[in-house]
């Protein structure tokens, strides 16, 4: 089945009672039983909800997986994966990563006895060298947030299998339209569904997708036991968003190419981080595992300073200064003070994330308008 058809019909089944083509919003907390323990497959909405189940089926379909689970946020989904571990376990994680994930790892799970080792995962050899008998999970972002570093999912998944270690890929930046990590051997895929899957900046949600039944059962137990589940209205919104993922991503990619090339040609711009450039580090790997390069990118000015960046960040008229990404509208972001503020400055600078770095989520507006907006902001 082609992608466009898959996304429109994923998880969609006409309502058996009315024939409604859209999945109903089952806004209920509990379900009536005809006798103790005798019910229609639904007991309590934290554990089961038909709207959520339809969405979880859709998540599995669009990521070429067997099982999907929905969570109240991307961080909640990440937390569920970490709860598979026990004190003394080690996690190898990308040194360039979303600040919220780093905060969860360093401020919450380290206290629980989990050890995190941060390496440059764009070189699979670094992952192999960091492996120990205690390593139980490799946590990848590819492309990374915000420097767009690319890791070889297949090579690192092979390392994980060799050491009986799970590999979880945060696929938020790429979306399932551009990349399917399970196809390259990953154990779990995570999304902040708030971003491209929802696509309209109106919902907070996360998801996990996997192929292993036993792993799904473990994660489902964590999901219902901790209660970090999304409400049915939010599930409805993401189901609706998935139906247009392919057309939105096509425009994000088209605009991304134009904006990235405009920035690279602007004499006041220093470095542009976008994995679609042929000279981008590991571009050949990106071409192998991605169907396109998306609308996420970062850049610095020739004057790589906080003051110069702040002027641009405060001057755009179409790009909105805000956290998040993946909506139909274009956003501009300052990682050092916003999405990555929880990472110590020294560590950020070492990883290449300067105080002057600007991140863009290129939306689906007219590309000419977006480039003109950047031109007047950069001056």
pLDDT at 40 (0 to 100): 87
Is 195 in the active site? yes
- Distance separating alpha carbons of residues 146 and 190, to the nearest angstrom: 17
Residue 253 to residue 178: CA distance in whole angstroms:
10
What per-residue confidence (pLDDT) applies to 339?
84
Question: Is-contact 134 127, C-beta < 8 A?
Answer: no
Buried b (16+ CB within 10 A) or exposed e, 91-117: bbbbbbbbbbbbebbbeebeeeebbbb
What pLDDT is attached to residue 370? 98
Closest-CA residue to 122 (of 91, 159, 158, 148): 148
Q: What Cα–Cα distance (Å) separates residue 247 from each residue in 60, 107, 198, 287, 318?
A: 20, 39, 13, 20, 21
Q: For 197, phi and psi rounded to 5 degrees? A: -65, -45
Whether residue 98 lies in the annotated active site: yes
What is the model's pLDDT at position 15? Answer: 87
**Alpha helices per DSSP H over 266-356:** 283-289, 306-313, 345-351
Q: Which listed residue (52, 83, 136, 195) is catalytic?
A: 195
Q: What domains, with CATH codes, occur in the chain?
A: 3-243 (3.40.640.10), 245-378 (3.90.1150.10)
**Contact yes or no for 299/272 (Cβ under 8 A):** yes
Residue 170 falls in the annotated catalytic set: yes
- In this structure, are residues 70 and 229 in contact, taking their beta carbons and an 8 Å threshold? yes
Q: Is the previous residue joined to 143 through a cis bond, with omega within 30 degrees of 0?
A: yes
Would you state the pLDDT for residue 16? Answer: 86
Task: Choose, from 7, 98, 118, 273, the residue flagged as catalytic.
Answer: 98
Q: Does 89 participate in catalysis according to the annotation?
A: no
Residue 37: its pLDDT value, please? 85
C-alpha–C-alpha distance, residues 321 and 319, integer Å: 7
Catalytic member of 46, 115, 240, 264: 46
Helix (H, G, I), strand (E, B) or coil at 351: helix
Which residues of the chain are modeled with pLDDT < 70? none
The one catalytic residue in 79, 170, 234, 355 is 170
Tokens of 77: 């989904």
Q: What is this structure's pTM? A: 0.96
């Amino acid at each position: 089945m082609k992608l466009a058809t898959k996304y429109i019909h994923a998880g969609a089944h006409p309502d058996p009672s009315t024939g409604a083509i859209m999945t109903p919003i089952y806004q209920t907390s509990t379900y009536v039983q005809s006798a103790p323990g005798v019910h229609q497959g639904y007991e309590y909405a934290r554990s089961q909800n038909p709207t959520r189940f339809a969405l979880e089926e859709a998540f599995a379909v669009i990521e070429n997986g067997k099982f999907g689970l929905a969570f109240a946020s991307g961080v909640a989904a990440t937390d569920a994966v970490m709860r598979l571990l026990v004190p003394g376990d080690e996690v190898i994680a990308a040194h360039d990563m979303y600040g919220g994930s780093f905060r969860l790892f360093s401020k919450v799970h380290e206290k629980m006895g989990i050890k995190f080792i941060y390496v440059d995962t764009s070189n699979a050899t670094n992952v192999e060298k960091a492996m120990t008998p205690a390593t139980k999970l490799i946590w990848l972002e590819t492309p990374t947030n915000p420097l767009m570093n690319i890791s070889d999912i297949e090579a690192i998944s092979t390392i994980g299998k060799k050491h009986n270690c799970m590999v979880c890929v945060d696929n938020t930046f790429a979306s399932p339209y551009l990349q399917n990590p399970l196809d390259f051997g990953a154990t779990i895929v995570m999304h902040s569904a708030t971003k491209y899957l929802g696509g309209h900046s109106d919902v907070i949600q996360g998801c996990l997708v996997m192929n292993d039944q036993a792993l799904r059962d473990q994660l489902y137990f964590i999901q219902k036991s901790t209660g970090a589940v999304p409400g049915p209205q939010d599930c409805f919104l993401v189901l609706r968003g998935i139906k247009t993922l392919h057309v939105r991503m096509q425009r994000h990619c088209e605009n991304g190419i134009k904006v990235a090339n405009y920035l690279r040609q602007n004499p006041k711009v220093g470095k542009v981080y976008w994995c679609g450039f042929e000279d981008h580090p590991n571009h050949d790997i990106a071409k192998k595992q991605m169907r396109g390069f998306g609308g996420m990118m970062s850049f610095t000015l020739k004057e790589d300073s906080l003051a110069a960046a702040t002027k641009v960040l405060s001057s755009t008229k179409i790009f909105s200064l805000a956290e998040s990404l993946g909506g139909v509208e274009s956003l501009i972001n300052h990682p050092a003070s916003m999405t990555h503020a929880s990472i110590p400055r020294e560590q950020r600078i070492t990883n290449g994330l300067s105080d002057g770095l600007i991140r863009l989520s290129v939306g689906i507006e007219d590309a000419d308008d977006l480039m003109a907006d950047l031109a007047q902001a950069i001056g």
